[in-house]
Structure 1
């Protein structure tokens, strides 16, 4: 009789090698096409494309082709492994969308509408790729463009625009998420530069970023300043956050800054308070508002095809009234989301957009996308939990987007502050009567 140790070894061996490799999804489930062969676009029911100029329409098509050809076939595999497909970065670079609205310095100088459309088209196929670009472009690059010196723009933006280097944006800390302005990471002035000490969390792209935009509290002024920290700087330590259920391809990291020296030339001169950080967030929030739109478009496209291919009770699922109603509700949500997103861009382009406008756009589109993707998950039945058919992946990927760059509740309060004139972020201090 085998010893218990031998039994344990045998069971472990069986667990790691049991069974045969899984069937290819097309063999295992031949009745419907998986998302690796991405469905044609079918969500523009109100012909929103007519509102775009020829350059914006051309960009939309170009991004769609690259995403469907290069990313769709591999996204489920990398999502499952929680690894980043670095070989895709040169393909994304060919789109010329990094840098978005930034003019000069090798950046594309797109309209904010074009940049938003590109964001949606990337997210339509894969939300993780969209977040990778958003962090790199609409947060890190935009901070350098809005708050950097001329020398910093010349030094960093061209390389970032070509994806020769990758950037991240480090604001959030373990103790400060929504209450970001209270951050504790410090910046102390020393001869020739600054010393940063502290910790950051949830920083997308940070595990492999060449350039890290880090926000810290100036120990002399108590105000928030911004710094460009380079990969490999002594005292900088970045580790990957494991066990995420959403945006698994995105490499989020914990950052430890232990007496990290940053030369004076890498302090961002335009970041002198949290308000300067908020200027960047207001613009990037427009881009984030378009991620749920793109995700919803992709889920609708997948469901529309799936319901026509999948048959039960002798008929395609598209023939059943309840399924049709759900599909139409999804479609209606997308039309409304597109028009809200488009109007938000036009307000920005005309100089009329406020922080409240941007916050309402992000909060509302992410809320309606949650409903839309939930309906899609219902429509796909058992396959609604398989990343191979997109919807399960999109369902999970939407959850971090619902939370980051301001939770639904915090963004709602930003808008409410504008329309009521009353800030409600901090709760009233509990009086003695509450202890009775």
Structure 2
């Protein structure tokens, strides 16, 4: 059975001019050339990614050919090409609007892998990998989280790195590592047994002692494979250490940027939710009338749009802070916690509005509903991000 989406299969009369998820037209703040580029990228995603996402999501399968296509259209070099922070953020939102699994992989690729190498890598590491990463001819995975350490990873990280002559020997376990089953290398964070600092290392996945096993039975982000990683006496040359990641503070910069990116993902998920419910309400009839004519349908649609609009406005301001070099961890934590909470509420409303069809992946809403649960949790739980904000505004730390 062909499970590809039929979201645009039954077009209706042209929607009112205000029937857009970007209700306040945040994209109008972009210069003309960025608006056109964003429109081109949105068109590619709408035509080539979104209509097929549910098929792969349902099969729990990664579409490798789509990754190469994303690379051909510039999605592998978002953080390398010139452009405003608002433009880059809206690109991330459009990716999430098309599919949250692929947007997760593309976001990690740009913010944590490309960003990690550009921030902390050596010139030699950059020269070897960046040209391949730009078009997804190579894929890296960010290996920080461990089986027993997520929120407390800064203090609890157990993976070790021991220098032996002209090599580092890495031992430990990592969990929830996105894309690791087909990655060319891992950015592994391990504790130096000499000075106990958490440092970064580039570990090629074909080295002896590296193994990755796909985590089964996920109910969210099913397109992107997450893996359990075992690092058993893995030997790498000294040159594979990231010179700019000699302690955890370097990792914190990457985590700050990635939390900001998740805010854009949450905004994009809400845009997708609005798309789905608007189309459904204006095309489906019950009791002899389009659903859109009922008050109990219009109210949740307005709420979903309000959540999306608030999230986009918050993210646009965050982009300005990034442009000015004023982005702090507490800013990123607040947008991550707030926008994913709004996305969760909107997905719940959308799922209910579609009734029984709301649990179907090929109607999109069931897939969005499940995937939003994942982004609500990753890159720091709501509770942890809230405590980061609380510490910033009160001056008192509630962390143990």
Q: How would you bin the TM-score normalised by the shorter chain?
A: over 0.9
In the TM superposition, what is the alpha-carbon distance from 1:94 to its structure 2 partner?
2.2
In the TM superposition, what is the alpha-carbon distance from 1:111 to its structure 2 partner?
2.7
* Structure 2 counterpart SS, 1:187: strand
Q: C-alpha separation between the residues in 1 aligned to 2:141 and 2:8?
A: 29
Q: Name which of 118, 143, 151 aligns with 1:170.
A: 143
In the TM superposition, what is the alpha-carbon distance from 1:150 to its structure 2 partner?
1.4
Q: C-alpha separation between the residues in 1 aligned to 2:9 and 2:44?
A: 13
| Pair 1:70-2:43 in alignment | no
Do 1:97 and 1:108's aligned partners in 2 also have CA atoms closer than 8 Å?
Answer: no
Trace 1:278-293 onto structure 2 (pairs within 5 A): 278-293=252-267
Do 1:99 and 1:142's aligned partners in 2 also have CA atoms closer than 8 Å?
Answer: no
From the superposition, tell whether residues 207 and 37 of structure 1 become closer, same or farther in structure 2 (CA, over 3 Å): farther
> TM-score w.r.t. structure 1 length?
0.87
Q: C-alpha separation between the residues in 2 aligned to 1:401 and 1:394?
A: 11
> TM-score w.r.t. structure 2 length?
0.95
| Pair 1:132-2:105 in alignment | yes
Aligned length: 393
Do 1:99 and 1:138's aligned partners in 2 also have CA atoms closer than 8 Å?
Answer: no
In the TM superposition, what is the alpha-carbon distance from 1:377 to its structure 2 partner?
0.6
The two structures, once aligned, show a CA RMSD in angstroms of: 1.7
Do 1:36 and 1:72's aligned partners in 2 also have CA atoms closer than 8 Å?
Answer: no
Q: Deviations over 1:226-264 (max 9, x none)?
A: 001112110000000000000000110000000001111
Trace 1:236-385 onto structure 2 (pairs within 5 A): 236-385=210-359
Do 1:37 and 1:68's aligned partners in 2 also have CA atoms closer than 8 Å?
Answer: no
Q: Which moved more, 1:141-150 or 1:45-54?
A: 45-54
In the TM superposition, what is the alpha-carbon distance from 1:109 to its structure 2 partner?
3.2
Do 1:134 and 1:287's aligned partners in 2 also have CA atoms closer than 8 Å?
Answer: yes
From the superposition, tell whether residues 342 and 37 of structure 1 become closer, same or farther in structure 2 (CA, over 3 Å): farther
From the superposition, tell whether residues 131 and 216 of structure 1 become closer, same or farther in structure 2 (CA, over 3 Å): same
Do 1:115 and 1:287's aligned partners in 2 also have CA atoms closer than 8 Å?
Answer: no
Q: C-alpha separation between the residues in 2 aligned to 1:51 and 1:38?
A: 32
Q: Deviations over 1:145-180 (max 9, x none)?
A: 101111211111111111110111000000100001
Do 1:99 and 1:109's aligned partners in 2 also have CA atoms closer than 8 Å?
Answer: no
When Rg is computed on C-alpha atoms for both structures, the one with the higher figure is 1
From the superposition, tell whether residues 388 and 36 of structure 1 become closer, same or farther in structure 2 (CA, over 3 Å): farther
Which residue pairs with 1:192 in the alignment?
Answer: 166
Do 1:295 and 1:394's aligned partners in 2 also have CA atoms closer than 8 Å?
Answer: yes
- Structure 1: runs of 5 or more not aligned: 1-21, 27-32, 102-106, 427-436
